A and B are shown apart, each in its own frame.
Chain A
């Protein structure tokens, strides 16, 4: 029902159009507020908004902003986590996992990318079958929560879902191994709803970069509207995909290597190249990659915005994916705390709107357009 989400969207559907042409100056002039107490206050009373403290004012502003520009979360491990549960009800809330509908509403999550990555060692030789099982499981979770979740395949359907007060679920990323080296399998997985593929771990997208077949995979992904994810891929692969892809590319779980030397984090040159290609660096809420505090995450977001540009930065909650999150960002309800920190640092409303929602919308829509254009040009390859 349309009344399930308290805040009906008031914005236009286009990502870049989401931001009002003249953003309220009050938001951009806020950083003069005293900073130090905010962190400890939030830690002591994490859930209670405090309208009379500076942190509380920022938190209220963050909630208001997210009500208009919700979070499109680039990586959620929820389907896999639910497979480990004997039973669950996302509508009631589930204490053993990080994500459920009440907390997504509290955190203003409007869309989720559901990872279909495989977790157990039995993937060898069975990756396609296991990915089909993951897809089937994801569908069944969505179907059993019709009032909360909606499976979407296109940017337009994300808007429809939001207008109906549903959280959009985009299927992917899946691992490239799921293709079993076959473009036919890619087409079939896309027919079953897959929208993102991580280009690592295969003979054609491995440590040596992208082979000619790998390039054909990227072209076919463009033709189908499946987004390429190069998080964790060697730089040669990432650069080649940036150059080859006719639509922007994702780094579904990458922060800034200049700040923290994790292999999945992107060096500045790659961040700049990603920005030039209008792709997305989706900064993960993973302590190992960003550091253990909200401020550390904000530092990465500042840096990515600086190097790749405000149109190339987005968020990956990475909840329920078996990682340790920064303090204060332990579950899907905590996004307002991160946004409050960014407000404190002077991020403008248009920039925050791009970060949480607009950039992901732009990239999804671009993939849809590129696919339609390519299908007019190219017949199916073999």
Chain B
């Protein structure tokens, strides 16, 4: 049996729980939620990284669908509700393949039925508009993790890719974490500044997750996790879900992206400009300087390191499919997970290790958050603190 066959057979028993997939945002941007125009029951290789046939091929058993919305536009709350509505519609349309999941028990039930447990994660504290009532509304609707920031700071937490402001979490930010603990919503520390990671770990009474982040010691990018934080995961009980995004995981790709951005700025353009003339300049750059390609092995290097620092009980996978323009060779779309497992088998990972990586850790972490919430709810009422009352005028 080849290691790929072995990987596939392993995944039949312990499928992948993926921490982050941006299909809802892709459906919003591409077709304004016209779900007939992007019917995921059939292959959508020309448009998306994700559809049901490829999820099946990739051995995915549970997916945290991201209900991400941009932080630089007004109306984050209604837009987030639309994203949630999209996920609910997807689940309604594909009852044989997708099952709504709110708990660890739901995840196990979905696995037993051979359906893909569908969970939701909100990507950025801007989605609650500084309101704990809104946070509870998102929980009520099924959101089971919230990334504390996206690429920009919010009023109470610093992002990894913005200028330091709060210095971690403000008093209200800590209250958000405590209320998430009370609800049983996982605190997601992808995207946040290292100071915020540490502040959240100091505050939380439940396991945290990194829904899509890799190791900073392997590739020095702010979106990755420093070793001192990885070292705290065993004590916290949480997990880091390795991401595949080339410009975060491959040093050459990090450098290339910086150079490409610099090239845009040198031409007087914003580095995220996608207008035709900007793309022309970018293509010329890409012809002069070929884009470095990440591979399955690049991602496996991160996992080897993260395993050494955090331990095999604290690892998972968060591909960020449909949230990134480029993907590594061999992990081109959601059908690629078996290739990663085959690589890890060849590196000596045991079947028991892989079962933890793909399935067991993620189910344990959500279940642990539920247990903590039950305990807290017995003693603590919902918090109605406001950002003004805790942080002063913002």
Contact = CB atoms under 8 A, between A and B. Distances in A.
B129 A129 contact: yes
Interface in B11-44: 32-34
Given A125-B74, A140-B382, A188 B133 contact: no
B357 to A, nearest CB: 34
A182 B78 contact: yes
A136 B85 contact: no
Interface string A177-204: 0011010110111011000000000000
A135 interface: yes
B134 A185 contact: no
A184 B84 CA distance: 8
Contacts of A192: 137, 140-141
Nearest to B142: A191
A188 B140 CA distance: 11
A132 B85 contact: no
A56 B78 CA distance: 53
A188 B84 contact: yes
B81 A185 contact: yes
Nearest to B34: A382
Contacts of B32: 382
A191 B136 contact: no
Contacts of B74: 125
Interface in A12-65: none
A139 B382 CA distance: 11
Contacts of B85: 184-185, 187-188
Nearest to A189: B81
Contacts of B137: 132-133, 135-136, 192
B134 A182 contact: no
A68 B136 CA distance: 38
Contacts of A135: 133, 137
Contacts of A128: 75, 77-78, 81
A240 interface: no
A129 B89 contact: no
A62 to B, nearest CB: 39
B81 A188 contact: yes
A380 B89 contact: yes
B82 interface: yes
Contact of B81 (A133, A136, A139, A184): A184
A260 interface: no
Interface in B44-87: 74-75, 77-78, 81-82, 84-86
A267 to B, nearest CB: 35
Interface string A106-150: 000000000000000000011011001111110110000000000
Interface residues of A, number: 24
Give the most central of B78, B92, B136: most A CB within 10 Å. Answer: B78
B195 interface: no
A65 to B, nearest CB: 39
Give the most central of B32, B81, B131, B141: most A CB within 10 Å. Answer: B81
B82 A125 contact: no
Interface in B155-206: none
Interface in A248-269: none
- What is the size category of the interface that chain B forms with chain A? 20 to 34
Interface in A160-189: 179-180, 182, 184-185, 187-189
A107 B282 CA distance: 73
Contact of B133 (A133, A185, A191, A382): A133
Nearest to B127: A129
A138 B75 CA distance: 23
Contacts of A187: 85, 88
A129 B80 CA distance: 11
Give the most central of A129, A133, A182: most B CB within 10 Å. Answer: A129
A365 B157 CA distance: 47
Contacts of A125: 74-75
B393 to A, nearest CB: 15
A185 B82 contact: yes
Contacts of A191: 88, 141
Contact of A136 (B82, B86, B129, B136): B136
A182 B81 contact: yes
A125 B33 CA distance: 23
A134 B136 CA distance: 11
A129 B82 contact: no
A191 B91 CA distance: 15
B60 to A, nearest CB: 25
B129 A182 contact: no
B382 A129 contact: no
A141 to B, nearest CB: 11
A188 B137 CA distance: 10
Contacts of B75: 125, 128, 180
Contact of A132 (B33, B86, B88, B131): B131
A129 B131 contact: yes
B332 to A, nearest CB: 30
A382 B77 contact: no
Nearest to B37: A382
A128 B81 CA distance: 9
Contact of B86 (A129, A137, A184, A189): A184
A191 B131 CA distance: 20
B180 to A, nearest CB: 14
A126 B75 CA distance: 7
B134 A132 contact: yes
Contacts of B89: 380
B88 A136 contact: no
Give the most central of B33, B82, B129, B133: most A CB within 10 Å. Answer: B133
A248 B75 CA distance: 32
Nearest to A140: B382
A192 B81 CA distance: 11
Given A191-B88, A380-B89, A137 B133 contact: yes
A141 B247 CA distance: 48
Interface of B: 32-34, 74-75, 77-78, 81-82, 84-86, 88-89, 92, 128-129, 131, 133-134, 136-137, 140-141, 382
26 contacts: A128-B75, A129-B128, A132-B77, A132-B131, A133-B131, A133-B134, A135-B133, A135-B137, A136-B134, A136-B137, A136-B140, A137-B133, A139-B140, A179-B78, A180-B75, A182-B81, A184-B85, A185-B78, A187-B85, A188-B82, A188-B141, A191-B88, A192-B140, A192-B141, A380-B89, A382-B34
The 6 closest A-B pairs by CB, nearest first: A133-B133, A180-B78, A184-B85, A136-B133, A184-B82, A132-B137
Given A128-B81, A135-B133, A189-B81, 10 more contacts: A125-B75, A129-B77, A133-B131, A136-B133, A136-B136, A136-B140, A139-B140, A180-B75, A184-B86, A185-B85
